[in-house]
Structure 1
Amino acid sequence: MTTDVLASETPTAPTSPARQRRGGRRGDLGAVGLVLAAAVSVQFGSGVAALLFPQAGAAGMVALRLSVAAVLMLALCRPRLRGRSRADWLAVAGLGLAFAGMNSVFYQAIDRIPLGPAVTLEVLGPLTLSIVTARRRGTWLWALVALAGVALLGTGGIDRLNAPGVALALVAGALWAAYILLSASVGRRFTGADGLALALGVAALLTLPVGIFSAGSALLDPVVLVLGAGVALLSSVLPYTFEMTALRRLPSSTFAIMMSLGPALACLAGFVVLGQPLNWLEGSAVLLVITASAGAVHTGTATPPPTITATPTARRRWRRGRAG
């Protein structure tokens, strides 16, 4: 008993501010790695999806991708349904709507214009969000650098692209910005990937009727099913899980600027998967975007000096010292 009392009264050494900063920075860098992995995964998944458009169409691919992703995530997570508040369900429904709209509109866009320009236009949504939500001047600066890189990527004849495709890509960008905000909200309300699994279920229910009507029996083709499952893994399950985890650690403005890596990776995916050419101008734009993303991460994860607060015991001793 005496040992227990003494042990309970023995103060533990507090974690030093330097160690706390190092631990926080490692966590932030881990979140950055998740964002990069998600970006690579989703762009190559989009490249594979574009190959299936002749068989299943854009609407069919969206329905197949989201349905397979929902089944996988719900089976893995088995989210708890009881005890959820009305606000929790509204957040899930909003994220599900964002998933369905963002993917449907974007796939319609890349069915009309090349993957690189489509993502270049789409990323204007997250970049606008980063400027609106930024609280530091440095973040605004990096957002403008990223915007310059994206604009440079778009100089290669973007004015000659299919007008409906351009409009669809811009709408997808607005929905992408909504997805970032809603994903952060769901990530705060649900543990693990439970909220993501439920939101994907909502998105699947919204897109499946349109996909079946559009693609019909093509969705049952074994090749389409296998490749569609691969697209679901690359473009939904992995990136959405990574991004929701990262948004628990990164500011939305920093995360949004990192989304500007999308056009660079889309150009690379278009070159590798679809054989679309890549010139020196696009290479220069890629360097600008990478620089902006690195700068935004440095600015967004910078930790201010810790504020040291005296404990009640220390304050009492200080007062006694002054009185004496």
Structure 2
Amino acid sequence: MSVETGTSAGTGTEVAAGVRSAGASGRRGIGVVPAPVLMLIGMVSTQLGAAFAKQLFGTVGPATVTLMRLGFSALVLLLWWRPSLRLDRRTAGAVAALGVAIAGMNICFYLAMARMPVGVALTVGMAGPLAVAGLSSRRAGDRLWIVLAALGIALLGWQGGAAGLTGLLIALACAVFWGSYVPLSARVGALLPGGGGLALAMAFGTLCSLPAGIAEGAQTLVRPEVLAFGFGVAMLSSLVPYTCEMETLRRVSALVFGVLLSLEPAIGALVALAVLQETLSPAQVAGLIAVVVASIGVIRGSRKAPASVPSPTLPKGTQQP
């Protein structure tokens, strides 16, 4: 993945320097924005990306959208962080595992989203990190929150028919990948501090999604309007929320950040209503509320955990589907 010599090398260096300079300027500019507002901007941006991605499904399929989102995101992050490709076997294995998790949760999220409302797919997927957080705690009360979340998911998935069941199963697969993302991202972050590990994992995830994405929509990937739309989805889904969350985490505690992040399913449902005119049944609204309440309950419970017990928290939303 090295840059070619000559003119190409100079261009790559200038682009990378420009991206880093823009990132630094952006951080200074957003410093005056209140942290909760930044978090809201990031979450709305993520869900706008999901809604626009669903609009693409009439032209390209979920696998191709996944390929474009991961590919463009990886390109920007690699230019931003410029990580070294010299990894030992342990680090390379952790990066590869994280890449598989990122690719799996994204393609499963988009496949589920094609069969059910965005808010439902997102809320079911969120059960993965919620389960990891609750089950890693020794507090009995956190298990009760998991039960509440399971009841909420049952309400969300109760649509009847094969399509509803298929969508629910795919969303649960997304939850598994998203849940595995939690410990894997922590491991990669410990081995490669900063965003370099994420950039490399995103690149590996792109390679994992390449065969399915090309097989599904190779002919559409040469159309400039499709690529432009895919780039927009990638920036809305990754770069904007990533920037907002990084700045938010500098100013607020993990508890506050986690509680704010727990509101994302509700924001996703509202954005889908505004952009896609997707409505939820009363039972699905009740299920969404149950999962949000359970998520907040687990996070708030982490504040009461003994010092010797790792506090269960939901992961950063950077790579949220």
TM-score (norm 1): 0.70
1:88 equivalent among 88, 91, 95? 91
Is 1:55 aligned to 2:59, yes or no?
yes
Distance 1:33 1:141 in 2: 31
Alignment of 1:38-53 (within 5 A): 39-53=43-57
1:74 equivalent among 65, 74, 78? 78
Distance 2:46 2:118 in 1: 12
Aligned to 1:15: none
Query: CA shift at 1:195, angstroms?
Result: 0.5
Is 1:229 aligned to 2:216, yes or no?
no
Distance 1:120 1:110 in 2: 11
**Maintained 8 Å contact 2:127/2:149:** no
Sort the Cα spacing of 1:182 and 1:139 in 2 relative to 1 into closer, same or farther, 3 A.
same
Distance 1:106 1:243 in 2: 21
Distance 2:112 2:295 in 1: 25
Aligned residues with identical type, % of pairs: 39
Aligned to 1:113: 116
Which amino acid is the alignment partner of residue 212 of structure 2?
Answer: V
2:193 equivalent among 191, 194, 215? 191
Sort the Cα spacing of 1:250 and 1:144 in 2 relative to 1 into closer, same or farther, 3 A.
farther
Aligned to 1:310: none
Which amino acid is the alignment partner of residue 83 of structure 2?
Answer: P
SS of the residue aligned with 1:277?
coil
Query: CA shift at 1:288, angstroms?
Result: 3.9
Distance 1:266 1:216 in 2: 30
Query: CA shift at 1:86, angstroms?
Result: 2.0
**Maintained 8 Å contact 1:62/1:103:** yes
How many residues matched?
A: 275
Which amino acid is the alignment partner of residue 44 of structure 1?
Answer: L
**Maintained 8 Å contact 2:116/2:164:** yes
**Maintained 8 Å contact 1:39/1:239:** yes
Aligned to 2:271: 269
Sort the Cα spacing of 1:160 and 1:265 in 2 relative to 1 into closer, same or farther, 3 A.
farther
For residues 165-209 of structure 1, the C-alpha deviation after alignment (integer angstroms, 9 at most, x for no partner) is 332222111111111221121122222211000101111122223
For residues 128-175 of structure 1, the C-alpha deviation after alignment (integer angstroms, 9 at most, x for no partner) is 3233212333433443444444444444x2566443333222211111
Distance 2:109 2:154 in 1: 19
Distance 2:64 2:284 in 1: 31
TM-score (norm 2): 0.71
Which amino acid is the alignment partner of residue 69 of structure 2?
Answer: R
Distance 1:167 1:49 in 2: 21
Sort the Cα spacing of 1:87 and 1:158 in 2 relative to 1 into closer, same or farther, 3 A.
farther
Aligned to 1:16: none
For residues 204-260 of structure 1, the C-alpha deviation after alignment (integer angstroms, 9 at most, x for no partner) is 122223322321231232322222112112223344677799999999999999876
Distance 2:210 2:252 in 1: 33
Alignment of 1:72-221 (within 5 A): 72-82=76-86, 84-155=87-158, 157=159, 161-221=163-223
Distance 1:207 1:281 in 2: 34
SS of the residue aligned with 2:58?
helix
Distance 1:137 1:71 in 2: 44
Distance 2:77 2:292 in 1: 31
Structure 2 unaligned regions, length at least 5: 1-33, 308-321
Query: CA shift at 1:281, angstroms?
Result: 4.6
**Maintained 8 Å contact 1:46/1:235:** yes
Which amino acid is the alignment partner of residue 77 of structure 1?
Answer: W
Distance 1:140 1:287 in 2: 18
Which structure has the larger Rg? 1
**Maintained 8 Å contact 2:262/2:295:** yes
**Maintained 8 Å contact 2:112/2:168:** yes
Sort the Cα spacing of 1:143 and 1:194 in 2 relative to 1 into closer, same or farther, 3 A.
same
